C-alpha cells in the first residue's frame, strides 16, 4: 500500500466560501453554523450552546479520557490497576540494550514499506529506545498473556496506513509465541486477517482512512488529493467490524489537505453531488462523533474494549526542530531533546477537537495519546530506506531528502511502543 501523499494545501476546494467579501472570521462562523444546522439539525440548540462554551477544556488529562467506571466495576480484560496518578504518556525515552523486542528479518509480516534495514538503513539505534513514563513503569509486553486473552476472540485495527503499521507491530510482537504451522495472514480487499489457529484468535486490520465512507477507500488505489467524505456513512465500513472484542481506531492524516474539507451529503452515486465545505477541524469533529455513535451502538462495554490512537506526527521540515531549512527526517539518527517540542500547529487544533469530543461523551474509549512521545522521534521514520514504488529520477537520487518518507515508521521501532502502551491500558487501565 502506498503512503498517502504528504499534506498538501487543497486549491480546488475553497471556491464557494472564498468568493465575496467576507472576513475570514465570518466565513468560519458561517461555515460552522451551516455545518451545525445541516449535520446536527435534530439537536441544534444543545450543540450550539456547548460549542460556544467560553471555557472549553484546553487540556484534558488522559485518565479522564480513559473509561471511568463506578467503583468495583471492572473493565473488560483488566487484570490490575494502573498506578494512581501516573500518566503513562508523559515520560522520556531511555536507551535499552535488550531492544528491539523482535528482529526485522524474523517477522515475515512487515510490509516492504517498513523494513528499513533490508532497504539499506545504515544506523540501528532507533530500535533501542524504551519509553519510560515519569510516574511509573510500563509492564513488559507478554505475548502469551495477550494470546490467551484473545482466545476465541477478535482484535481489529481500523484506520489508515499508520494504524496498519501498529497492527503489523502487534502481529510481530505476538508471532514468536505461535508455532510456524499454526498461523497465517490473508488479505482480501480492505481486510487483512492474521489467524493464530491454536488460539482460535484473529488480529485484523481494516482499511478505512476516514472511518467513514470516502473516495479514498480502495485498499490499493487511494492516492486521491481531492478527498471527499460522506456524512453519516460509518456503517458502510462498520458492518465489517461487528463482533470484534478489542478495537483500535485511528484517523487523522487523511483529513489534512488544507484548512477546509469536502463533506458529501447524499451518495457517491448521485449525479449532482451535494457537497458542503467545512473547516477541517469541524469535518474531523464530525468523523469523531460518528465513531463514538458507532461504538455506543455496536460495542458492549462490559465485554469489549475500544482504543483510539491519537495523531501520528510526521517530520517533513527540519526547520521545525531548528535544523537545516531544506531538510526533513532524512539522515536524522537522533531524537529531538526538547521535551516541549510539539511540531505543526494543526495537530494542536485536532488534539483539542479530540479532547472536546471525548470529554463530552460517556462512550468508553481508551485514548492512546502517542502524539507527544512520537513527536520526539524524528529518527524513527522509514525515510529513504523502504521499497521505492516508482523508479527514482536522477534529480531525486541527487537529493535523497526529496523522496524520504517522513510519515511512516520503521519496524521494529517506535510503533512497538504504541502497542506496549496499548498492552498497559488493556490490562492495567
Catalytic residues: 161, 405, 408
Q: Which window, 126-134, 152-160, 207-215, 234-242, contacts ligand NAG (CB under 6 A)?
A: 152-160
**Residues from 235 through 294 that contact ligand NAG (CB under 6 A):** none
Q: Which window, 7-15, 99-107, 151-159, 183-191, contacts ligand NAG (CB under 6 A)?
A: 151-159
Q: Which member of 292, 350, 351, 384 binds ligand NAG (CB under 6 A)?
A: 351
Residue 416 CB, nearest approach to ligand NAG (Å) = 17
Q: Note whether 372 binds ligand NAG by CB under 6 A.
A: yes
Residue 415 CB, nearest approach to ligand NAG (Å) = 17
Nearer to ligand NAG, 154 or 285 (CB): 154
Q: Which member of 83, 148, 198, 270 binds ligand NAG (CB under 6 A)?
A: 148
Q: Which window, 60-68, 248-256, 290-298, 389-397, contacts ligand NAG (CB under 6 A)?
A: 60-68
Q: Note whether 331 binds ligand NAG by CB under 6 A.
A: yes
Q: Note whether 68 binds ligand NAG by CB under 6 A.
A: no
Residue 243 CB, nearest approach to ligand NAG (Å) = 7
Binding mask 5-44 for ligand NAG (x = CB under 6 A): ----------------------------------------
Q: Which member of 62, 251, 304, 383 binds ligand NAG (CB under 6 A)?
A: 62
Residue 16 CB, nearest approach to ligand NAG (Å) = 32
Q: Note whether 145 binds ligand NAG by CB under 6 A.
A: yes
Q: Which of 201, 78, 81 is nearest to 147 (CA)?
A: 201
**Residues from 74 through 93 that contact ligand NAG (CB under 6 A):** 89-90
Q: Note whether 200 binds ligand NAG by CB under 6 A.
A: yes
Q: Which member of 22, 36, 60, 224 binds ligand NAG (CB under 6 A)?
A: 60
Q: Which member of 20, 41, 122, 152 binds ligand NAG (CB under 6 A)?
A: 152
Q: Which window, 58-66, 121-129, 163-171, 255-263, contacts ligand NAG (CB under 6 A)?
A: 58-66
Contact 9, 346 (CB under 8 A): no
Residue 357 CB, nearest approach to ligand NAG (Å) = 9
Residue 34 CB, nearest approach to ligand NAG (Å) = 27
- Kindly provide the b/e burial profile for residues 238-262, where b requires at least 16 CB atoms within 10 angstroms of the residue's own CB: bebbeebbbbbbbbbbbbbbbbbbb
> How many whole angstroms separate alpha carbon 199 and alpha carbon 351?
37
Residue 68 CB, nearest approach to ligand NAG (Å) = 14
Nearer to ligand NAG, 154 or 222 (CB): 154
Sheet holding 246-249, edge to edge: 183-188, 191-196, 201-207, 154-159, 246-249, 305-309, 366-368
Residues that bind ligand NAG (CB under 6 A): 59-60, 62, 65, 89-90, 142, 144-145, 148, 152-154, 200, 300-302, 331, 351, 354-355, 369, 372
Amino acid at each position: 500500500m502506498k503512503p498517502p501523499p504528504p499534506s498538501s494545501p487543497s486549491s480546488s476546494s475553497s471556491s464557494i466560501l472564498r468568493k465575496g467579501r467576507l472576513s475570514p472570521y465570518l466565513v468560519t462562523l458561517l461555515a460552522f453554523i451551516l455545518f451545525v444546522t445541516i449535520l446536527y439539525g435534530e439537536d441544534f440548540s444543545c450543540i450550539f450552546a456547548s460549542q460556544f462554551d467560553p471555557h472549553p477544556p484546553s487540556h484534558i488529562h488522559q485518565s479522564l479520557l480513559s473509561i471511568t467506571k463506578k467503583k468495583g466495576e471492572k473493565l473488560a480484560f483488566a487484570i490490575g490497576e494502573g498506578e494512581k496518578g501516573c500518566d503513562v504518556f508523559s515520560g522520556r525515552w531511555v536507551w535499552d540494550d535488550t531492544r528491539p523486542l523482535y528482529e526485522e528479518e524474523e517477522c515475515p509480516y512487515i510490509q516492504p514499506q517498513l523494513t528499513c534495514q533490508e532497504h539499506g538503513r545504515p544506523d540501528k539505534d532507533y530500535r533501542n529506545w524504551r519509553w519510560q513514563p515519569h510516574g511509573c513503569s510500563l509492564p513488559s509486553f507478554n505475548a502469551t498473556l495477550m494470546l490467551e486473552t484473545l482466545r476465541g476472540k477478535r482484535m481489529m485495527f481500523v484506520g489508515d496506513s499508520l494504524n496498519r503499521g501498529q497492527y503489523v507491530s502487534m502481529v510481530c510482537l505476538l508471532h514468536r509465541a505461535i508455532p510456524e504451522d499454526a498461523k497465517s495472514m490473508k488479505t482480501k480487499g480492505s481486510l487483512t486477517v492474521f489467524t493464530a489457529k491454536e488460539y482460535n484468535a484473529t488480529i485484523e486490520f481494516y482499511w478505512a482512512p476516514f472511518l467513514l465512507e470516502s473516495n479514498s477507500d480502495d485498499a490499493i488505489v487511494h492516492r486521491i488529493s481531492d478527498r471527499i467524505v460522506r456524512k453519516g456513512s460509518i456503517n458502510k465500513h462498520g458492518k465489517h467490524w461487528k463482533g470484534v472484542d478489542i478495537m483500535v481506531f485511528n484517523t487523522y492524516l487523511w483529513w489534512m489537505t488544507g484548512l477546509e474539507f469536502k463533506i458529501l451529503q447524499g451518495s457517491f452515486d448521485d449525479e449532482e453531488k451535494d457537497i458542503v465545505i467545512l473547516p477541517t477541524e469541524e469535518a474531523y469533529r464530525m468523523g469523531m462523533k460518528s465513531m463514538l455513535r458507532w461504538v455506543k451502538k455496536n460495542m458492549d462495554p462490559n465485554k469489549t474494549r475500544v482504543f483510539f490512537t491519537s495523531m501520528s506526527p510526521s517530520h517533513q521540515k527540519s526547520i521545525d526542530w531548528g535544523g537545516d531549512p531544506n531538510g526533513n527526517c532524512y539522515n536524522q539518527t537522533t531524537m529531538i531533546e526538547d521535551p516541549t517540542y510539539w511540531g505543526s500547529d494543526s495537530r494542536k487544533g485536532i488534539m483539542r477537537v479530540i479532547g472536546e469530543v471525548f470529554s463530552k461523551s460517556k462512550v468508553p474509549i481508551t485514548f492512546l495519546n502517542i502524539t507527544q512521545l512520537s513527536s520526539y522521534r524524528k529518527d524513527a521514520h522509514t525515510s529513504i530506506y523502504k521499497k521505492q514504488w516508482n523508479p527514482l529520477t536522477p534529480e531525486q537520487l541527487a537529493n535523497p531528502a526529496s523522496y524520504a518518507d517522513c510519515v511512516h515508521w520503521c519496524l521494529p521501532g517506535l510503533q512497538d511502543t504504541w502497542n506496549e502502551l496499548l498492552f498497559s491500558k488493556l490490562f492495567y487501565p
